[in-house]
Amino acid sequence: MISLKNILVVSALVASLAVSGCGTAKPAEQGTAQPKPQTATTETKQQTLSISQGTQNMRDVLKEMKNELANKDEAKVIKVSEKLEENWKIFEDSVKDKSPDLYEKVEKPLGAIQAGVKVKPLDAKTLTASIDELDKTLAKVQELK
């Protein structure tokens, strides 16, 4: 009898957990529905920022990075490099759609820069080469319509 009683208690516990778990599924779905407006605003940003504008923003960041690198201010180089990726995210899909080849040519030096700023001490020669390569590629991207 004790065994049957234990089975009933465990069954009741499992059933109550299942019922309470089912009640919490809807708020979780509602919670995931809230970030959708944020992605919509990101999409709006992508639509309002042309490839030309985005490219120019990135080239300005590259100039700033190069200046900070020349000044040997590692902290500022790292901070400025974050702006590079933020600017690229805004219009990279447009570039990818219009010219997959140029997209890949941007990603290569951009990845090298992102990896290079994580290495201490910064390798100024390698970073400068990647910055120059990315700047030349962005000049070509800027011509896309």
What residue spans define the domains of the chain?
45-142
Report which of 51, 68, 60 is spatially closest to residue 102, judged by C-alpha positions: 51
List pLDDT tens digits, range 128-143: 999 999 999 999 988 8
CATH number of 45-142: 1.20.120
List pLDDT tens digits, range 48-92: 568 888 889 999 999 999 998 888 888 898 899 999 989 899 988
**In whole angstroms, how large is the CA radius of gyration of the chain?**
25
Q: Which two tokens stand for residue 112?
A: 């090298």
- Total-model pTM: 0.62
